[in-house]
Amino acid sequence: MGRIKRRTKRVGGKSFMEEVLPVDSVQEYFEHFGVLELDFTFYAPIKDNQGKPARNYHNLRSYSQYLKEGDKLILKVPQAFFAKKLWQGKVFATNPAYLDADAFKRQFYEPALELVEPWLHGMLFEQEYLRKQDRPAPSQVARELDQFFGSIPQDSRYHVELRTESFLCPELFHVFEDHGVGQVLSHWTWLPSLRRQFNLSGKRFFNASGDLIIRLMTPRGMRYEDAYGKAHPFDKLIDGMLQGSMVRDTVDLAREAIDHGIRPNIIINNRAGGNAPLIAQKVARSFMQCPTPISFHADTSNT
């Protein structure tokens, strides 16, 4: 316990105390779960624009020292390369590095392979929610993503989470299919149900490596700050917070994936119901009759 660090985090104008486990605890984590999503890489590249190792380079290298054969990592791609706008001080400003294929390759992809290639199971691009007044036509987004995925190194481990419902459309799914990019099914604030997301894609699996990522982030209709405050301190399930449809859809979609020879990877955040490991247990009980193992990630980082 003496190695657990405490830090204060401000969310929605309130301060919360968090406990942070040491990096070497990842060894114990993999005794219980099959895949780990690291999301600190979302907030900054692994190398800077001069090609020098940045803070996340050292963070990722620290993790690599404790990984063993068979451990699986999913890395979030830096928002610097996939967000149209970034928060800068008090406003969202246009991101000049949006879909910069060369920067993605130099500052994320190549150093990621350098550090964790034996364990790298997936790379997750998260596109931010775009309000109606800031939202381009889906056809434009499709053209941009088609050019981007045609310019970066070919890799079967790419997955995209679209957080704007109007982009869950044939134009975007055609791009995913052409490039073998997986559609991330995300249980998140402003998205339709997991089942609806899958139905909109024509019930197809696009990832070239045969993987599906399902992320259980927040209850539908509940903002991040509200979900965080309600779930804190993340030590139990919260009455009325865990949505039964989320569990049912996760179970059904994972079994459907297995029936098609696809490997489901389920990522669970504390904010989805109060405590990620306990949510994982609820989902896992529904797989008791399923002969194929499912990879779970209980995300307790709350970032």
Tell me which DSSP letter residue 88 carries: E
Query: Does the pLDDT at position 295 exceed 90?
Result: no
DSSP secondary structure of 219-244: -TT--HHHHHHHHTT-SSPPTTTS-H
Q: How many CA atoms lie within 13 A of 44 on its CB side?
A: 12
Query: Does the pLDDT at position 98 exceed 90?
Result: yes
User: Quick one: pLDDT at residue 290?
Assistant: 54
Query: Does the pLDDT at position 291 exceed 60?
Result: no
Q: Across the strands, what pairs with 8?
A: 17
Query: Does the pLDDT at position 281 exceed 70?
Result: yes
Alpha-carbon radius of gyration of the chain: 18
Q: How far apart are CA 77 and CA 69, in angstroms?
A: 23
Lowest mean pLDDT, pick from 5-9, 18-22, 89-93, 124-128:
89-93
> What is the number of residues in the chain?
303
Q: How far is CA 242 from CA 8, 226, 246, 282, 301, in A?
A: 26, 14, 8, 10, 18
pLDDT tens for 166-198 read 999 999 999 999 999 999 999 999 999 999 999
Q: Which two tokens stand for residue 57?
A: 């380079």
Q: How far apart are CA 41 and CA 165, in angstroms?
A: 25
Q: How far apart are CA 208 and CA 156, in angstroms?
A: 5
Domain 5-299 CATH (choose: 3.20.20.410, 3.40.640.10, 3.40.120.10, 3.40.47.10):
3.20.20.410
Pairing relationship of beta strands 5-11 and 14-20 according to DSSP bridges: antiparallel
Q: Which two tokens stand for residue 285?
A: 């009980």
Query: Does the pLDDT at position 303 exceed 80?
Result: no
Query: Does the pLDDT at position 292 exceed 60?
Result: no
Average pLDDT, the chain: 94
- In sequence order, what are the residues at sequence separation of 6 or more whose Cβ sits closer than 8 angstroms to the Cβ of residue 287? 251, 254, 255, 294
Region 254-270: mean pLDDT is 95
Q: How far apart are CA 153 and CA 80, in angstroms?
A: 18
Region 212-228: mean pLDDT is 98
Q: Are residues 263 and 213 in contact, defined by beta-carbon separation less than 8 angstroms?
A: no
Which DSSP helix (H) or strand (E) runs through 151? helix 138-151
Indicate the burial class of 257 (C-beta count within 10 angstroms; 0-12, 13-18, 19 or more).
buried
Q: Across the strands, what pairs with 17?
A: 8
The amino acid sitting at 131 is R
Lowest mean pLDDT, pick from 46-55, 105-114, 133-142, 292-301:
292-301
User: Quick one: pLDDT at residue 87?
Assistant: 84
Pairing relationship of beta strands 14-20 and 85-88 according to DSSP bridges: unpaired
Query: Does the pLDDT at position 1 exceed 80?
Result: no
Region 75-85: mean pLDDT is 97
| Single pTM value for the model | 0.94
Query: Does the pLDDT at position 296 exceed 60?
Result: no
**How many other CB atoms sit within 10 Å of the CB of residue 279?**
24
